[in-house]
Structure formats: C-alpha cells, structure tokens
Amino acid sequence: MDIKIKQLQDNWRVYQLINQNGMMVEVLNFGGIITKVLTPDKNGQVQNVVLGYQNHLDYQSDKNFFGALIGQVAGRIQDASFQLNGKTYTVDKNEGNNHLHGGKHGLHKVIWDVEPFHNQHSVGVHLTYIIHEKGQGYPGNVSLHVTYALTNENQLSLEYKATTDKPTVLALTNHSYFNLSGNIRETIHNHQVSINSSKILELDKSLIPTGSLLDVTNTTFDFRSSRPLTDGISGDHIQHKIVGDGYDHYFIFDQQKEESVTVKEPTSGRMMTIETNQPGMVMYTANNELSNFKYKDGSSSKYLGVCFETQGTPASLHHDNLPSIILNKDETYYQKTVFTFSADS
C-alpha cells in the first residue's frame, strides 16, 4: 500500500491512496472531496467509478457537490430555520427558502487539515476542521475529525467523529456520484440496487419531507429485492415526478443488517456494498443536468451517477417521529460507512 501527495495551486493538495490490488482513491484537502475511485471490472480493467472534474480548479465553482464532505447538516432544512432548546436558529437560504447541504459556505468549500497515515491494515488520511459558531448560524463550535481509509480488501471506509461546546445539530455525509460502468460508459439506468428499507420519507413539491412515512411495498421504491434504477426513472409514481423523474428520497433502514445497500452494474460486473451505522440514506439519481460537467460530447447530462448519502435526516428538526440529529455538549458524534468494491470473475 502507498500514499502519494501532489501539491496543487496555493494550499490545495491531492492525496492518492493506493492498495496492493491497484485500487486507488484520490482525495482533495479542499472540501474533503473524493475526486477518483479507480477499481477493476470483471476483466481486471481499472477505471474510475465516481464523477469528478478533470481540472481540480472546477471544484471551486461546483454546484453538484461532487464527492464532497457535506455539513454541518446534509440535506434540506425547511425554511432555513429550526428550534433547539426553545431558541430559533436561522441558517443560510441557498435553495429557494430552504437551506441545502450546509449552505453556500458549507464543509464542501473549506480547506481541511490533512494528516496522511499508513499502517499494516490500511492507507488513508485524517481530516480535521473546526466549525465556528459565528459562521453559518448553527449554535456551538464543532470540532470535526474524518478518516478516509483504503484496505487491501478493496474497502473504503469513511469514519466521522465530532464534539461540540454547546448543543447543536449535525448530520454529515459524503456526496460521491457512483457510476460502476467505469469512466461513465453508460448512464446509471441499469444499475441493480438493493436497499434494506421498507419505508421512505414522503416529499412535498419543494423536496421537503412532509414527515409522513410511505410503505414501499408494491411500488418502485421497494428495493428489498434487487431492481434496476430505471424502474423509478421511468416510473409514474407522483414521488418520482416531484423530484424530476428518479429518486431523491430518504430511505429508512430496517433492522440493522451487515449490508444496508448493494449495487451491481451488469456490463462491467462491478459490485459495491455499503455498510453503515446510520439510520437511513438519501439515494439521488442525478435527475437534473449536472452543471458545468462535461461528458463525452462536451455537454452535461442527467443520470450519469447515483449518490448514496448515508446520514441522519434534517427532517427530524421539524418532525418528532424521526431519529434526532441533535448533538449535545457531552456527547461524541460517530458515524461510519464502508464501501466495498468487487467484480464478478
């Protein structure tokens, strides 16, 4: 295993994590962004399976959140406000009247302190950052520690830890767009996905959760048995139409299983499994054109990647029937998600 560091402009650096199988994960200190995940297909051909820019500078103006660490709260906060211990807090309105993915100056736009490491089990980077209370309107100063680690078993683990000096809210995730065909040879329509979930959060026309839980049985949201993403992209369920034909929904995991999600791409034979301690996940199928992203003929397109955003949901700030994302002073936030890559022989 090895780690390589490249100096970019100013204080930007890119870290390449390489295992003994030729798998490589590339991470920027800007935004904690995963820019590449190179992994073999069934024929041993190593290709990139996440969306990213050829020019690293394009991440400065990126509106797609490609590969980034998301926070302080991932997802949409209704009306960009919430109550905590009887006090109302107002945060940045960066999507209409709502707050999305930490706002205009969220974690995807900061320079993280990075310490690389290399041991007998893995190679990786520790990323640290302090969110100051006066920044985005959230209460408290929050100390963050995120670890990306790559093993020789082709596992990429993302481990998040945080503490705060006063009660606050916190829901972190990573926003990588996966396309297991490799180098975006195809859209994600035929990706076969299974999710250990019998309920999703209903969305209103502004993509804000209503608080109602919808049973997935006999719908195109039922991934308890594997099904292709095209079922929802071309489906006529009103919830697909609301998000622009596809998925952008929070799936609540059922009883904790070792694998919460599996994804297979039939042409390449690649498979990805996801294990997490989080209560649920937003699956987003890139239903809108990816702004500033050049693809093949130079134009952007829909459905080039699919995100699996394991996280708590900000809907819990307005609906009591959902797991809380409140972090208290004497608590430690801990989240771990592991992506394991393989391929049919």
How far is it, in rounded angstroms, from Cα 158 to Cα 147? 6
Domain spanning 2-343: which CATH class is it, in words? mainly beta
Tokens of 188: 């994600």
Full-model pTM: 0.96
Active-site residue, from 101, 175, 240, 249: 175
- Asked if 309 is an active-site residue, the reply is yes
How far is it, in rounded angstroms, from Cα 196 to Cα 222? 9
DSSP conformational letter for 112: P
DSSP conformational letter for 241: H
Residue pair 109/31 in contact (Cβ under 8 Å)? The answer is yes
Tokens of 306: 């699919």
Grouped pLDDT means (10 residues each) for the chain, 345 residues: 92 96 96 98 96 92 96 97 96 94 95 96 97 89 98 98 98 98 95 98 97 98 98 97 98 85 98 97 94 67 96 97 96 98 90
Say if residue 301 is exposed, middle or buried (CB neighbours under 10 Å; 0-12, 13-18, 19+).
middle
- Asked if 159 is an active-site residue, the reply is no
- Domain ranges (residues) in the chain: 2-343
DSSP conformational letter for 111: B
pLDDT at site 224: 96
